[in-house]
Amino acid sequence: MKVSPELSPKKIAVIAPNKPFFGALIVTIPFFRALRELFPEAELDIFSPRKEFAMIQELGLADKIIEYDIKGGSSGFFTTLSLLREGSYHALIVMRRESMRDRLLGFFSGIPLRLGFMKKRCPFIFHESIPYDKYIYRGENYLNLIWLLGENAPLRFFRPYGESTKKRDSIWLLPCGSDEEKLWPPENYAKLARLIRNRLDLRVKFILGPGEKSSFFEEEFKGDEKVEFLKNLPLKELLLEASSSAASVGNDCGPGHIAQTMGVKSIVLFAAEKNVDEWVNIAGGSKSIVSSGPIEMIDLEEVFTDLEEILKRPGSDRKI
C-alpha cells in the first residue's frame, strides 16, 4: 500500500524505541528529520517512556513528547491507549520491533494507518510492515519505515545538521563510552592523534563527555594548536560541530552515532561481538574493527590504515 498525496497524514504518532542509552536515541534522528521534511504540515507526536526524547523536540523534529509508564501494567496500558485514541491521529508508526505491548496498543488504538516492523506473530496488527534487517545500520532500518507512507527516504538524511560553511578539516576522536570493556585505551587515542596530525596534516578534535577524564589528553597535547577538546557540549552544538569533521574514530558510543547520522565516515571499535552491523553505518561509508578478544587488542596501525582508506571513499548515494 502506498499513501497517495491526498491521503497524506496530518497527525502522526510515533511509538519510539526505549533502549536506555544515548546512542539508541541518536540513531532515530534521521528518521524524524525525514518525517518532518517529507510531511512538514503534519503534527508529529512521540510516545516514549524516556524523557530524553525531549531532545528531539528541541531540535524541532517533533511537536509533542508524550511520556508513558512502560511498567504500569494494565493501568498504564489503558492510559496510553486512551492518549492514542484521544489524539485523533491519522497514522501510527511503531519503531520498536519486539514489543507485543506496543503492537497491541497500535491495534486497539483504532488509528486508520498503522505501520511497523514485521513479525510472524499477529501479522494483522499493522496495515503495512517491513522486516527488520539486523545486518544494516539501525538508523537505516528506521528510515525504511518511511517507505510505508509512500515516500522514498534516501540516505541523504544522513547529512550535516543545519547550514554550515565549515571546512571538513578535522578528525573526531571519541574515547568515550559507558562500559569499561568497550573502551580502547586512551594512550592509543593519543598515539593516533599524533599520527593524524603528523602524517595526514589534519586537525584533531577529542569529543569528551562528563564521564571522561580530559586531564590526560589535555596534558599530552598542552599548547598543541592542532588538537582541540570539546567537552560536555549540548546535542545541537555537537550536531553542528560534526559538519567540520572529515571522519571519526571511536568506541561504540553516543557521539559516534552523532557522527554517523550526520554523514561523517567513521571507524567504530568493538570488543568481540556477535553482530555489530546494526551499529555501523556501512552504507554511509563507515566501517567497524572488531577485536578477537578485549578491545585493547585492536592494533593502532590497523586503525590508522583504515582511517586513511575511508578518507578516500566518496560519500554514499545509495538509495534505501
Per residue in 21-30, pLDDT (tens digit) is 889 999 999 9
Predicted TM-score of the model (pTM): 0.89
DSSP 197: I
User: Which has the higher per-residue pLDDT, 83 or 152?
Assistant: 83
Per residue in 45-100, pLDDT (tens digit) is 999 988 899 999 999 999 999 998 777 778 889 999 999 999 999 999 999 988 88
* Dist. CA 282–CA 245, nearest whole Å: 17
Query: Do the beta carbons of residue 260 and residue 172 sit within 8 Å?
Result: no
Query: Do the beta carbons of residue 84 and residue 76 sit within 8 Å?
Result: no
- Phi and psi at residue 190, to the nearest 5°: -65, -45
Q: Measured between alpha carbons, how far apart are the two ends of the chain, in Å?
A: 18
* Dist. CA 194–CA 145, nearest whole Å: 42
- Domains delineated in the chain: 5-153 (3.40.50.2000), 170-311 (3.40.50.2000)
* Dist. CA 298–CA 301, nearest whole Å: 9
Query: Do the beta carbons of residue 147 and residue 24 sit within 8 Å?
Result: no
Mean pLDDT for the chain?
Answer: 88
The predicted pLDDT at position 317 comes to: 37
| SS3 per-residue string spanning 219-288 | HHCCCCCCEEEEECCCHHHHHHHHHHEEEEEEECCHHHHHHHHCCCCEEEEECCCCCCHHHCCHHHCCEE
Query: Do the beta carbons of residue 132 and residue 117 sit within 8 Å?
Result: yes
Per residue in 199-255, pLDDT (tens digit) is 998 999 999 987 677 788 988 999 899 999 999 899 999 999 998 899 999 999 999
11-15 and 43-48 beta bridge pairing: parallel
| Residue 48: exposure state from Cβ atoms within 10 A (0-12, 13-18, ≥19) | buried
Assign residue 87 a region (left: φ > 0; alpha: ψ between -120 and 50; beta: otherwise).
alpha
Mention every residue, 6+ apart, whose C-beta is less than 8 A from residue 237. none
Distances (CA, A) of 301 to 6, 92, 310: 56, 48, 14
The predicted pLDDT at position 164 comes to: 60
Which residue, chain included where needed, has cell 599520527?
Answer: 195
The predicted pLDDT at position 76 comes to: 85
What does the block give as the cell for 84?
Answer: 492514542
The predicted pLDDT at position 272 comes to: 85
What does the block give as the cell for 12?
Answer: 502522526
What does the block give as the cell for 50?
Answer: 524516556
Angle at 257 between CA 43 and CA 209, to 5 degrees: 105
Distances (CA, A) of 315 to 25, 159, 234: 24, 10, 27
